[in-house]
Structure 1
Amino acid sequence: MIKNPTAKKQILNSLRSVARLGETAGVVLRAGIRHATDAAPTPQLLRETFEQLGATYIKLGQFIASSPSLFPREYVEEFQRCLDQTPSLPFSYIEQTLKEEFGDTPLESIFQHIEQAPLASASIAQVHAATLVTGEDVVIKVQKPGVQTILHTDLNVVYGVTRLFEKVVPKLKFASLSEIVDEIRSRMVKEVDFVAEAQNIEDFQQFLDATQNTQAVAPKVYPQASTRRVLTMQRLYGLPLTDLEVVKQYAKDPAQVLISAMNTWFASLMMCKSFHADLHAGNLLLLKDGRIGFIDFGIVGQLKPEVWGATIGFMDALQHTNYHEMAKNMVNMGMTHTKVDVDRLAQDMEKLFSGVLMADPQKVMSGDVADLNAIMLDMVGVGERHGIHFPRDFALLMKQMLYFDRFMRVLTPYMDVFSDSRLQLLQESEPTSKLIH
């Protein structure tokens, strides 16, 4: 009988890895048989197989969906359908994870109450409302049991397969397939490390303090109730910026609400180690006291100053429908090694964005992420035809800028926010100087 807890845990993890390999092989075998007998398109078959394989592959599918610069369009479009809200686990599984993480410390000495029904359930974690013994309302983000073992096993398999393919088919090496998988592996490992997410929140809070920004807030993290697999945060009560009439109930000037949110985010691009890369309506809240709540820092990006400067020029040109300047700024981003015909690029961008700018604002703000990604895919396609390649973090940045553009069309439909003197796109500090070190 094994008495050493560490050795016992290692053996259990090894057994789980072996079981996971067997499970994966079974699903892949069934997918292969279906591929040989079914007329379903390959992207659809791959997406359905990923969903059957669970957490790691669902996150991988979401990575494909949000990386139009790395993957073929038909796969990016198909993986937009990858599940984000997954079936919830019984509270007993979540409770067991909490007990494992806090060891000898009884849960009753940390939490006064935990709601058994989850607020949300995604592929990697489940979120529950709770109250600390000190009385604060919080949300607990709890990693689902076995996720880390599954993640590491799956990603090692995917990485090994891509390396094998590159040896068998040498041409694939030029596509940097294994490097792409390695980047995916690095990002996904960070996403299941809640200590890293807590650090992202702390960096953002330090930025707010350093800039004396009292108009925005991020949830407080409670370290005594957090671990690598559990993240306990202050519960912020607010409303998403999706309904002008609702926003008016809490703010006299909806334009100021949006400008405050944008000023905060723009400043964070240059002054934080990373920027929040997923500020859709669910992650940007108008709180009852009028402040803007920034939540869910699991997806962040990093930006080079020259890319940000060119992006500002691009968005300014978009607001003024100056397609020639849009094209020039795309070239100035430095994502091409060939000579670009700026006039032809400008013509292609005009064809693309003339339809976007005429879109129904209420429809585009309804949370249709697929529509946003369609715009990104079209942009990437235009860029590639002219020899321009977009890095992943630029795609994250542009997607966020499009989110803001659509917030503007709902909250400020009759004004040009980019010409408002309250909006500060360029900060006085040097781009390379970070307030957060």
Structure 2
Amino acid sequence: MPLDNFNKRKAKAVAEFARKNKWDAVLLSEIKAKTGGIYWLGQDELLTAIIFTERAAILLRDQLLQLWCETGQVTVRNERTISIKIKDLTLTATYMPVWSGNNEQEIETAKENLKSHVEKVKKEEILLVGGDFNAHVGQGEERPDVCGRFGLRSSNRQGEELIDFCQENNLAYVNSYFQNKRRGTWFNPALRRWYELDGFLVKSNQRHKLVQKLNVINEISLSDHKPVRIRIILNKPKKHDRPKKRSPKIRWERLRDAEVVNNYRERINNIVEKAEDANNNQNINDRWKEITDTTIKAATEVCGIEEKKIENPWMIDKEDEVKRLRERITVCVNRRNELMERSRQTADDERLQIETDLNNAKTDLKVARSTLQRQTRQWEKDWWENIIKECQEAGEKGDSGTLYKTLKKTWNKRL
């Protein structure tokens, strides 16, 4: 069934915008159509196809459109989610319902439909999900391979549930891994603030090698939502025969200690003596390489290697506690979903007890999430108070070295 005149005008504007910006695919949300179909625009090199369902659509052009046609135009549709497959690449556009306070069942149904699309993608295939999730993910939601540390303010309820959905389905919320000055995609005129409702999901194990760049485009003529642009790499990375060997990052500041200096000097002398006994006839290049390796080896053994900085240092040694709290959230989510499914399949006259259990399950889930958030904020507060105390003590003693070292711990955090 063709689109109505209003959607046709919108489709032409989006197609022209994609052509000017040389976008091969656009994932669209909040479409209003009575059924699914394909809308063709242009001819020859300007040929564009919009594959749509009732509430979401995917625009294809150029090489991706040609490949999709050559591979059989594989398409999977639900009311709010649509997926197309192009060789080993699956593009999924989705539009999640706006939470109104009493439409949990509608939201869960939309999530189950999206989950069914995700599960159809094979392990070795590439998946990119994009759309309007109507969920705001803020700062402080870091989870390994699921969510990064960047965002606007704090998350709302839908944002927390989106991250839970990603964790349950081995997905990563891409927006949270990119630090952009302009993040908001929708402006709430009543509250006078921006929300980041639109974004992308990928498989957790594909984020590093797939996603190259993500940013929000300052364009408001197409919709009341700003578009989000993502650049992905589909080609397999080239294998280098001789990978570059990097020197370890050594903790050279330890050489300020006289005892460490003596140990370092002694260790170098021992290594040099052994090397001289073993090799007496070396050319200058080999000799220089040996001196370099000796210096690095002695420094590594005596001074140690600087560990990789952690994004949230207040989470150190808290992994077991965080894991326990997140497992509790997962149990509550599964319990809530189970009761919602039973409620949908139960007759009205037998649903009273299930509804009571469902409300209790929702309360337990809310408490579990609040506990994790409250505990994380307390750890962060304690960490900052300890940093401030150490800086004050170093300042009172006039110990600029310790003061600098303490302040350096905060450099990877935004003050």
* Structure number with higher helix proportion: 1
TM norm structure 1: 0.23
TM norm structure 2: 0.24
* Structure number with higher strand proportion: 2
The higher-RCO structure (CA 8 Å, 6+ apart) is: 1
Which of 1 and 2 has greater Rg?
A: 2
